[in-house]
Each structure stands twice: as C-alpha cells, then as structure tokens.
Structure 1
Amino acid sequence: MDIILKPEQEKLILAKVNSGKYTTVDEVIAEALQLLDERDKHYQQWVEDTRKKVAVGLAQLDRGEGIEAQTVINKLKEKVHQAKENK
C-alpha cells in the first residue's frame, strides 16, 4: 500500500523517530493505528452504554417515573453553585 503524507504529517512522524522513542517510521505508524483502534473501541463502548442508559430512562418515563424539567434544572444549578463554593 502506498500512502501520501502531508508535509506536517511527515514532520510529525520524523520528529517521533528523532525523539528516540521510536526506531522506525513503521513503529510510529503502528502505534498510531493501535491508538486509533483503541479510541474507536472506547467510542463504540460509550455509544452502547449510552444507548442502554437512554433505554432505561425511556422505560422509566413510560412508567411515569420522570422528573419535572424545572426540578432537574434547579438541582443542576445547585450542583454548579456548590462546585463553585468548593473551589
């Protein structure tokens, strides 16, 4: 596979090699791809977790267990106020 890098990408890769942390360009690219894969997996897990939480929340609303919007807003304002005081 042939790839064309932008000049700034090439400079970044070469800077990583020149730093001594990596011995070859291939190592830098392999590490970058591994990190990309890990990020994508974490994101996918976040999406799945969020969907589950939304489903739970919707089920609670269907059962009439919701909270009035103004109550939620007031609680959030109080948390922000407390956080500011605790700084």
Structure 2
Amino acid sequence: MQIVLPPELEALIQYQLDSGKYRTAIEVVLAGVIRLEQEEDIYQGRLQELQQDAQIGWEALQRGELVDGATAMAELRANLRTRYASEA
C-alpha cells in the first residue's frame, strides 16, 4: 500500500526527521497514530464523565434541587464573603 501525502505533511515529517528525534518517516507516522489513539481514549473517558454529570444534573432537576444561575452565583458570593470575613 502506498500513501500519497500532501506537501505540508511531508514537510512536517521531514522537520521531525531533521530534528533527530525520529530515524524514519514510519516512526514519525507511528508516533502520530499512537498520539491519536491516546487522545481518543482521553476523549472517550471525558465523554463518559460528562454523560454521568449530565445524568446527575437531570436527576437533581427531577427532584427539584436545582436553582437558576443567578441564584447560584449569589449564593457562592455570599459564601465567599462569609468565609473571607471570618478569616480576617
């Protein structure tokens, strides 16, 4: 199998070879593929976390435990003022 690369990608591979970090173009491409796999694994893990967070939020909404953004920010500011006032 032969892959034809655009000139920009060929230049990037050559840059990596010239840096001395890699000995062959295959090593450069393999490093890129490994990095892509790692990023996809991270993305999948983060996606699952976000889905869990969304589910927790949905369940809290169903129980009537959520407040609007303005109320939440006001509560946070009040808590911070109280905390810093007690530390002074």
Same fold (TM over 0.5): yes
Q: CA deviation at 1:74?
A: 4.4
Question: Over residues 60-79 of structure 1, what are the superposed CA-to-partner deviations in whole Å (9 max), with x where a residue is unaligned?
Answer: 11111101232135468x5x
Taking structure 2 as the reference length, the TM-score comes to: 0.79
Percent identity for Structure 1 against Structure 2: 32
CA distance in 1: counterparts of 2:39 and 2:24, whole angstroms: 23
Tell me the matched-pair count: 77
Q: Rg larger in 1 or in 2?
A: 2
Give the Cα–Cα distance (whole angstroms) in 2 for the partners of residues 75 and 21 of structure 1.
53
Residues 10-49 of structure 1 mapped to structure 2, 5 A cutoff? 10-49=10-49
**Distance of 2:27 and 2:17 partners within structure 1:** 9
Question: Which structure 2 residues correspond to residues 1-87 of structure 1 after superposition, within 5 A?
Answer: 1-74=1-74
Whole-angstrom distance in 1 between the partners of 2:61 and 2:36 = 37
AA at the equivalent of 2:69: A
Q: Give the distance between the partners of 2:69 and 2:22, measured in 1 at CA.
A: 53
Q: Which runs of 4+ in 1 moved over 4 A?
A: 73-76
Matched to 1:63, the amino acid is R
